[in-house]
């Protein structure tokens, strides 16, 4: 019964659609043609269908959310008196056991008779409630549909009602996206606030040492830990800087070639090839960096007499730069391509060369889009994890030397949250603080970039 | 440049004779053929075009056109849409080079130099033959930078003061100075359509070209802005040769000294503007200017 409710609602509303549409059609015939109706028959059908489906769906969703709570509280009331005297936490445990028994999970063999009774009660309660829900849903399907059907007349503004409903649906969808973002931010903020109760905020923000090795359990011996975020952020920025130093020139020049110089055949061929770079999984880039590029750099550096560690910021940054080339090139190419031909003509007709035209007219006009593409690449570089985990190392050195091993924010978050952890130790909570700081940092970058773009924008329309 | 070798082109001397004109005179009523009638040639031309053909791929857009552009004249080119007048105009400063499939055959000379000769660099040519487009296309830069663009890329000035002077005189010649003198640093795209078009004209004359090509310069403007641009064209004639493509026959009649009528890739008739509009020799010209088609 229960699992058939959704198809049932669908069936009823489909039926309601044709029912309402046919009534609208017959009204139209009776009152002298389609033009006498306020809306199209399909609008009347849609209105009937919506009034059939929406209340039923709403009831169904609400029930989904509250079912467990209601049934559990009913079962809890009927438990024997000695169980009811337990503390809240223990009572929850008992109720969980009841549910386990009811669903035939583990521990179903030798259960206390009281639990067994409660489990049976749980199942029977849920069963009759679901029957009730089924009837309620069908009632909600039929009654509003009938009301809508009976209210159809040639002056009913069905189109406006249907389109209003669609608008509300669209608003709801965008709200979901916004609320999700808000939820993520808030969850990170709250965990970070707990972290800052045990670690001073200024120590975290300005501390020059990062070694989050605190004792995991009370009986373990461990250092007190140092949570200075500076080395981690310096590592992140160093690698992102190297990556951008690779990606921006190559990506931008490739974009200029593709959009201004390449023949259209070359462009259709070369652009997807470049975009394949973005399709390679980052883990593949990671071992490419760790196994191919890093040893190459080390050997080359040693042949020059330089001290190069086998995991270096340079290796990770170079490979990351290659990874984000398509972000810069593909988007910039689109933006440059979108600059109107009249700009090029105007410049060429003044006797400018192609290169002068590109440098003095096209690039300034395309600047906002180019900055946007670079910004996307930067946030990609800062947020990238796999390559740096494999190729950059884990030791939080405070250094600007690209030949040494550094670590990044993302790497530290990964290492802090992998494996056994307890969520009230600063070691684990530090991950949230790092995440929050990273979030604030990229937000700040976005803000700066937007200001820059607005200041130097050359609008051509 | 190597010009002497080019005069051996057989088409060049023969076409200079007046046989085309004579043929037109002999016709009693209207000529109906596809040969050019009227007077396409002048005595001391700035530009000469002989047997110019243009192909887009296999398609012939311009069919053997021969015409002169005089010094200090406004030559109007009229004709129905798709007749090739814009294509021909774009041949005069080799803007058609930017169209990959476009091929130009024949000879076009500026001050007796073949502009399609392999030794000719297109960049200085375009500085000598400026162009104004149908839709105003100021660069998304300040008014000052728009006008200074050409002098800067050609290195025409030694210092800021000289550049300032060129910008000022160019904008003055374009009749825009009083409107923009207080806001030279504001973006050129913020001006009205007519001001933008005059800014584009100022931009074109800042590099002191000899010829200015105008491709329907007023078609995106309202009547008042159009009147201003037309007035400007009349003034500019004292210093430049101007070739203007227009759809408005009134405009051709108002601004030009000579008018050329194009029809489906052929140059049908060329003559003094008042003659063309009062007493056309060719049936097609007559039909077009009286509004029988077009």
State whether A345 and B137 contact (CB < 8 Å): yes
Which residue of chain B has the CA closest to A359?
B153
CATH superfamily of B33-289: P-loop containing nucleotide triphosphate hydrolases (3.40.50.300)
Position A108 scores a pLDDT of 54
Position B3 scores a pLDDT of 42
Final residue belonging to a domain, choices A141, A156, A171: A156
Position B9 scores a pLDDT of 43
b/e sequence B203-239, b meaning 16+ C-beta within 10 Å: bbbbbbbbbbbbbbbbebbeeebbebbbebbeebbee
Nearest to A408 by CA among A421, A420, A397: A397
Question: Please, which residues have CB within 8 angstroms of residue B193's CB and are 6 or more apart in sequence?
Answer: B136, B220, B221, B222, B225
Note whether residue A99 is domain-resident: yes
CA-based nearest distance B32→chain A, Å? 37
Say which range, A117-131, A180-194, A330-344, B258-272, has the weakest mean pLDDT.
A117-131
Q: What is the C-alpha separation between A138 and A218, in angstroms, rounded?
A: 58
Q: Taking 50 as the threshold, does the pLDDT of residue B4 lie above it?
A: no
Token look-up 């494999």 returns A390
In chain B, domain spans = 33-289
Q: Taking 70 as the threshold, does the pLDDT of residue B192 lie above it?
A: yes
Q: Taking 70 as the threshold, does the pLDDT of residue B22 lie above it?
A: no
Residue B16 binned pLDDT confidence (cut-offs 50, 70, 90):
very low
Position A34 scores a pLDDT of 81
State whether A350 and B153 contact (CB < 8 Å): yes
State whether B130 and A353 contact (CB < 8 Å): no
Mean pLDDT for chain B overall: 85
Whether residues A256 and A140 fall in one domain: no
pLDDT, tens digit, 9 for 90 and up, residues B90-113: 999 999 888 888 989 999 999 989
State whether B133 and A342 contact (CB < 8 Å): yes
Q: What is the C-alpha separation between B190 and B204, in angstroms, rounded?
A: 19
Final residue belonging to a domain, choices A156, A190, A210: A156
Helix, strand, or coil here: A350? coil
| Partners of residue B217 in chain A, C-beta under 8 Å | none
pLDDT, tens digit, 9 for 90 and up, residues B198-215: 999 999 999 999 999 999
* Range B61-84 average pLDDT: 90
Position A459 scores a pLDDT of 63
* Range A430-456 average pLDDT: 84
Q: What is the C-alpha separation between B12 and B175, in angstroms, rounded?
A: 40
Whether B233 and B244 have beta carbons less than 8 Å apart is answered as yes
pLDDT, tens digit, 9 for 90 and up, residues A85-129: 777 788 888 888 888 887 776 555 667 777 788 888 888 888 888
Bridge partners (DSSP) of residue A135 are none
- How far is residue A271 CA from its own chain's centroid? 27
CA-based nearest distance A274→chain B, Å? 25
| Partners of residue A455 in chain B, C-beta under 8 Å | none
Question: ∠ at Cα B150 (B145, B155), nearest 5°?
Answer: 105
State whether A350 and B93 contact (CB < 8 Å): no
Q: Taking 50 as the threshold, does the pLDDT of residue B8 lie above it?
A: no
Of A263, A346, A461, the CB nearest to B139: A346
Which residue of chain A has the CA closest to B150?
A350
Position B2 scores a pLDDT of 41
CA-based nearest distance B215→chain A, Å? 12
User: What does the block give as tokens for B208?
Assistant: 């002191």
Whether A428 and A191 have beta carbons less than 8 Å apart is answered as no
Residue B248 binned pLDDT confidence (cut-offs 50, 70, 90):
confident
Note whether residue A357 is domain-resident: yes
Which one has a higher pLDDT value, A115 or B257?
Answer: B257
Whether residues A140 and A249 fall in one domain: no
| Partners of residue B187 in chain A, C-beta under 8 Å | 458-459
In terms of Cβ atoms closer than 10 Å to its own Cβ (0-12, 13-18, 19+), residue A373 is: buried
Residue B151 binned pLDDT confidence (cut-offs 50, 70, 90):
very high
Q: How many domains does chain A have?
A: 2
Position B63 scores a pLDDT of 87
User: What does the block give as tokens for A294?
Assistant: 């890093």
Whether A436 and A205 have beta carbons less than 8 Å apart is answered as no
Whether residues A245 and A117 fall in one domain: no
Residue A172 binned pLDDT confidence (cut-offs 50, 70, 90):
very high
Note whether residue A208 is domain-resident: no
* Range B235-259 average pLDDT: 91
Nearest to A458 by CA among A369, A330, A377, A334: A369
- Dihedral of alpha carbons A189, A190, A193, A194, sign: negative
Note whether residue A177 is domain-resident: no
Q: Taking 60 as the threshold, does the pLDDT of residue A219 lie above it?
A: no
Output B272-281 pairs: Cβ under 8 A, ≥24 positions apart.
Answer: B272/B39, B273/B76, B275/B38, B276/B38, B277/B249, B277/B252, B277/B253, B280/B30, B281/B24, B281/B27, B281/B30, B281/B31, B281/B37, B281/B38
Q: What percent of chain A has pLDDT over 70?
A: 94
Position B5 scores a pLDDT of 42
Q: For chain B, report the end-to-end CA distance as a whole number of angstroms.
A: 43
- Domain of residue A250 covers 226-456
* Range A431-438 average pLDDT: 90
Whether B215 and B130 have beta carbons less than 8 Å apart is answered as no
Position A457 scores a pLDDT of 64
Say which range, A7-21, A294-308, A445-459, has the weakest mean pLDDT.
A445-459
Dmax (CA) of chain A: 97
Bridge partners (DSSP) of residue A435 are none
Chains A–B, number of C-beta pairs less than 8 Å apart: 76
State whether B127 and A351 contact (CB < 8 Å): yes
Residue B20 binned pLDDT confidence (cut-offs 50, 70, 90):
very low
ipTM > 0.85 for the complex? no
* Range B256-270 average pLDDT: 91
Question: ∠ at Cα B12 (B11, B18), nearest 5°?
Answer: 95
Which residue of chain B has the CA closest to A260?
B98
State whether A364 and B140 contact (CB < 8 Å): yes
Mean pLDDT for chain A overall: 86
* Range A246-255 average pLDDT: 94
Which one has a higher pLDDT value, B3 or A291?
Answer: A291
* DSSP class of B294: -
* Range A150-157 average pLDDT: 86
Whether residues A251 and A383 fall in one domain: yes
pLDDT, tens digit, 9 for 90 and up, residues A383-414: 888 898 888 878 888 888 888 888 888 888 88
* Range A137-150 average pLDDT: 89
Whether B98 and A349 have beta carbons less than 8 Å apart is answered as no
Final residue belonging to a domain, choices A139, A156, A173: A156
Question: Please, which residues have CB within 8 angstroms of residue B204's CB and are 6 or more apart in sequence?
Answer: A349, A350, B130, B131, B132, B150, B212
| Partners of residue B124 in chain A, C-beta under 8 Å | 351
Whether A377 and A383 have beta carbons less than 8 Å apart is answered as no
Which residue of chain A has the CA closest to B213?
A349
Position A441 scores a pLDDT of 87
Position A238 scores a pLDDT of 92
Whether B147 and B206 have beta carbons less than 8 Å apart is answered as yes
| Partners of residue B138 in chain A, C-beta under 8 Å | 346
Helix, strand, or coil here: B54? strand
Q: What percent of chain B has pLDDT over 70?
A: 88
């Amino acid at each position: 019964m229960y699992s058939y409710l959704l198809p049932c609602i669908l069936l009823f509303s489909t039926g309601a659609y044709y029912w309402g549409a046919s009534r609208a059609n017959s009204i139209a015939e009776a009152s002298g043609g389609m033009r006498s109706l306020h809306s199209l028959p399909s609008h009347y059908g849609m209105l009937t269908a919506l009034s059939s489906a929406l209340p039923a769906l709403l009831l169904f969703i609400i029930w989904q959310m509250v079912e467990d709570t209601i049934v559990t509280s009913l079962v809890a009331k009927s438990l024997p008196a000695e169980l009811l005297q337990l503390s809240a936490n223990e009572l929850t445990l008992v109720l969980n056991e009841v549910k386990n028994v009811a669903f035939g999970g583990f521990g179903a063999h030798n259960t206390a008779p009281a639990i067994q009774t409660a489990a049976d009660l749980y199942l029977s309660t849920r069963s009759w409630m679901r029957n009730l829900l089924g009837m309620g849903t069908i009632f909600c399907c039929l009654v509003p549909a009938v009301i809508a059907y009976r209210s159809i007349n040639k002056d009913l503004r069905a189109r406006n009602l249907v389109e209003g409903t669609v608008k509300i649906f669209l608003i709801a969808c965008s709200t979901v996206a916004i609320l999700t973002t808000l939820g993520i931010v808030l969850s990170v903020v709250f965990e970070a606030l707990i972290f800052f109760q045990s670690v001073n905020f200024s120590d975290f923000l300005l501390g020059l040492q990062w070694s989050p090795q605190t004792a995991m359990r009370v009986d373990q011996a461990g250092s007190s830990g140092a949570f200075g975020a500076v080395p981690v952020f310096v590592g992140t920025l160093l690698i992102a800087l190297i990556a951008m130093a690779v990606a921006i020139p190559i990506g931008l020049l490739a974009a200029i070639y593709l959009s201004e110089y390449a023949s259209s055949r070359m462009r259709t061929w070369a652009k997807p090839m470049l975009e394949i770079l973005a399709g390679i999984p980052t883990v593949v880039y990671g071992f490419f960096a760790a196994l191919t590029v890093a040893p190459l750099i080390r050997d080359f550096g040693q042949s020059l007499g330089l001290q190069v560690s086998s995991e270096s910021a340079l290796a990770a940054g170079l490979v990351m730069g290659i990874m984000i080339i398509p972000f810069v090139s593909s988007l910039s190419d689109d933006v440059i391509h979108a600059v109107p031909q009249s700009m090029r003509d105007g410049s060429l007709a003044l006797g400018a060369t192609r290169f002068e035209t590109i440098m003095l007219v096209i690039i300034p006009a395309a600047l906002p889009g180019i900055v946007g593409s670079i910004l996307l690449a930067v946030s990609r570089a800062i947020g990238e994890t796999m390559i740096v985990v494999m190729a950059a190392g884990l030791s939080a050195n405070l250094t600007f030397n690209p030949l040494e091993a550094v670590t990044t924010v993302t790497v530290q978050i990964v290492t802090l949250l992998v494996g056994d952890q307890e969520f009230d130790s600063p070691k684990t909570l530090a991950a949230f603080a790092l995440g929050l700081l990273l979030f604030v940092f990229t937000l700040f970058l976005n803000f700066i970039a937007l200001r820059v773009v607005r200041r130097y924008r050359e609008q051509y329309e | 440049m190597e010009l002497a070798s080019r005069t051996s082109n057989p088409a060049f001397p023969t076409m200079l004779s007046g046989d085309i004109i004579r043929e037109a005179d002999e016709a009693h009523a209207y000529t109906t053929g596809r040969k050019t009638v009227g007077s396409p040639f002048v005595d001391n031309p700035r530009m000469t075009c002989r047997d110019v053909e243009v192909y887009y791929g296999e398609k012939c857009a311009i069919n053997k056109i021969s015409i002169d552009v005089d010094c200090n004249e406004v030559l109007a080119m009229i004709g129905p849409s798709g007749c090739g007048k814009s294509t021909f105009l774009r041949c005069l400063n080799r803007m058609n080079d930017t169209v990959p499939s476009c091929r130009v055959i024949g000879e076009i000379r500026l001050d007796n130099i073949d502009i399609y000769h392999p030794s000719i660099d297109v960049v200085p040519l375009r500085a000598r033959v400026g162009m104004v487009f149908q839709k105003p296309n100021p660069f998304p830069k300040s008014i000052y930078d728009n006008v200074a663009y050409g002098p800067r890329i050609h290195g025409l000035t030694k210092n800021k003061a000289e550049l300032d002077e060129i910008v000022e005189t160019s904008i003055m010649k374009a009749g825009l100075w009083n409107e923009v003198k207080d806001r030279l640093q504001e973006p050129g795209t913020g001006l009205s359509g007519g001001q933008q078009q005059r800014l584009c004209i100022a931009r074109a004359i800042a590099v002191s070209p000899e010829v200015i090509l105008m491709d329907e310069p007023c078609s995106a403007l309202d009547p008042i802005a159009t009147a201003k641009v037309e007035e400007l064209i009349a003034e500019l004639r004292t210093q430049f040769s101007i070739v203007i493509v227009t759809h408005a026959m009134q405009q051709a009649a108002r601004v030009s000294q000579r008018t050329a009528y194009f029809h489906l890739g052929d140059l049908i008739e060329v003559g003094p503007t008042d003659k063309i509009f009062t007493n056309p020799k060719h049936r097609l010209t007559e039909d077009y200017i009286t509004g029988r088609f077009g």
